[in-house]
């Protein structure tokens, strides 16, 4: 294994997670690429050019090059409209044949559809990570969210039928790909995402650095501000908690860290904060660089992840790596990312009352749960992820060589 083409059409690995379409996928692609490069594998990261100032290629780090392809207008385009640009991106990718690749690893369905042409032209196997699927999202829609279109479902079905290997984040996602998309079980493998254990770690100085009182009760949310991620669930739960126990108010701090999403309707949080009368405890913060974000994780009493759907939930893992228990929705990969009763609590449903009760329990059990956070997160290092991924890559390239020999 010498060279991999990593494809992320709809969002650049350089974009700031927590705003627009950037999120856990961006973190995943960059962190995986770094560990592959550490293992001696060259990685070319392909994404769509969205700015006239973006060069055709950027030497991001030793062994990693980011390559911007022209496909459609040279500006940001809403993710919902990007499907129309898949043919142009696919053609640009397929024509980039100045380097030989052992395989292509595409991320999200738009990249998968675009990468199939290059896979055939380059005679390189296609490994694909869905990250999310339309069918799963449509089963768990938040109030006010829009259903994914039939075209995406069909696109994902086509990828499931034609990719050489599908990478699932968890056993539950693997089962979903097989049952809902008809994927061949022999072409689905599970590789858990990881967490940067050096960046996200306990920090006893974090509260002082952020100007937080030592006895503050800090309930944090990190992520894009969209119905799917459900920051409103946390805010409504906080209002219930304060109604039940007004004495919490002087100590309560609720940082909401993230920006508006480029996909689907946004959540209007300032208006909701005013409506609920909790403006004195809520802090609306923009997306933060990892070093600053790590401080907030370490300074928090609990981190809430109330998403309606998550294939894994990197925020939950980052928080636990920083020594902070997580209260998360009992959906998708969060059941794997959070160890119930050991490193956090899982909540059935999204009612404000249920979440208020769970958060109250989490506060009371915080010290006990914190003991299990770092050990749980340590099982999900990016180094372990890369090692398992390289094993998967070698299996699919070996199988391709055998197929070639049999048809020769």
d(CA 19, CA 344) in angstroms, rounded, equals 26
Q: Rounded to the nearest 10 degrees, what angle do helices 231-244 and 269-276 cross at?
A: 10
Q: Which residues are annotated as a binding site?
A: 10, 16-17, 21-26, 79, 108, 132, 152, 224, 229, 297, 300, 310, 318, 324
Three-point CA angle 322, 323, 326, nearest 5°: 95
Q: Rounded to the nearest 10 degrees, what angle do helices 171-181 and 150-162 cross at?
A: 100
| Ordered per-residue pLDDT tens for the chain, 408 residues | 699 999 999 887 777 655 555 567 888 999 999 999 999 999 999 999 998 988 899 999 999 999 999 999 999 888 788 999 999 999 999 998 777 899 999 999 999 999 999 999 999 999 999 999 999 989 888 777 889 999 999 999 999 999 999 999 999 999 999 999 999 999 999 999 999 999 999 999 999 999 999 999 999 999 989 898 999 999 999 999 999 999 999 999 999 999 876 544 456 899 999 999 999 999 999 999 999 999 999 999 999 999 999 988 999 999 999 999 999 999 999 999 999 999 999 999 999 999 999 999 999 999 999 999 999 999 999 999 999 999 999 999 987 554 554 454
Model-wide pTM > 0.95: no
- The second-level CATH assignment, the architecture, of 206-378 is 3-Layer(aba) Sandwich (3.40)
Please give the C-alpha separations between residue 35 and each of 28, 60, 94, 194, in angstroms, as whole numbers. 11, 14, 26, 11
Q: Which residues are annotated as a binding site for 1D-myo-inositol 3-phosphate?
A: 10, 21-26, 79, 108, 132, 152
Q: Which residues are annotated as a binding site for UDP-N-acetyl-alpha-D-glucosamine?
A: 16-17, 24, 224, 229, 310, 318
Q: Which residues are annotated as a binding site for Mg(2+)?
A: 297, 300, 324
CATH topology of domain 3-194+382-407: Rossmann fold (3.40.50)
Q: Do 3-194+382-407 and 206-378 come out as alike in CATH topology?
A: yes
Domain ranges of the chain: 3-194+382-407, 206-378
Three-point CA angle 137, 219, 325, nearest 5°: 75
């Amino acid at each position: 294994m010498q060279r991999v083409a990593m494809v992320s059409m709809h969002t650049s690995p350089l974009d700031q997670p927590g705003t627009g379409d950037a999120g856990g996928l961006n973190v995943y692609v960059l962190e995986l690429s770094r560990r592959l490069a550490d293992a001696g594998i060259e990685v070319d990261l392909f994404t769509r050019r969205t700015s006239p100032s973006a060069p055709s290629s950027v030497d991001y780090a030793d062994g990693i090059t980011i390559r911007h392809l022209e496909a459609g207008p040279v500006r940001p385009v809403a993710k919902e409209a990007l499907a129309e640009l898949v043919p142009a991106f696919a053609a640009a990718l397929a024509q980039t044949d100045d380097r030989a690749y052992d395989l292509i690893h595409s991320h999200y369905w738009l990249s998968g559809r675009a990468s199939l042409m290059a896979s055939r032209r380059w005679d390189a196997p296609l490994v694909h990570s869905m990250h999310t699927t339309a069918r799963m999202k449509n089963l768990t829609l938040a109030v006010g969210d829009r259903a994914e279109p039939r075209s995406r479902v069909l696109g994902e079905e086509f990828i499931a039928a034609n990719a050489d290997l599908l990478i699932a984040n968890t056993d539950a996602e693997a089962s979903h790909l097989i049952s809902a998309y008809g994927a061949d079980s022999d072409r689905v493998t599970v590789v858990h995402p990881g967490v940067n254990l050096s960046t996200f770690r306990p920090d006893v100085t974090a509260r002082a650095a952020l100007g937080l009182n030592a006895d503050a009760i800090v309930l944090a949310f990190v992520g894009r501000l969209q119905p799917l991620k459900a920051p409103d669930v946390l805010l409504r739960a906080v209002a219930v908690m304060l109604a039940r126990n007004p004495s919490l108010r002087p100590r309560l701090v609720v940082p909401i860290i993230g920006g508006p999403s480029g996909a689907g309707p946004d959540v209007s949080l300032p208006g909701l904060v005013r409506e609920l009368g909790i403006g004195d405890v809520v802090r609306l913060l923009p997306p933060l660089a990892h070093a600053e974000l790590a401080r907030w994780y370490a300074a928090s009493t609990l981190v809430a992840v109330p998403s309606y759907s998550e294939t894994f939930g990197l925020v939950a893992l980052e928080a636990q790596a920083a020594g902070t228990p997580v209260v998360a929705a009992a959906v998708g990969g969060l059941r794997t990312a959070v160890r119930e009763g050991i490193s956090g609590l899982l909540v059935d449903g999204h009612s404000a009352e249920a979440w208020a009760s769970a958060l109250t329990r989490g506060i009371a059990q915080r010290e006990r749960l914190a003991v299990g956070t770092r050990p749980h997160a340590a099982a999900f290092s990016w180094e372990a992820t890369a090692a398992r991924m390289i094993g998967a890559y070698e299996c699919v390239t070996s199988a391709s060589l055998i197929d070639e020999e049999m048809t020769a």
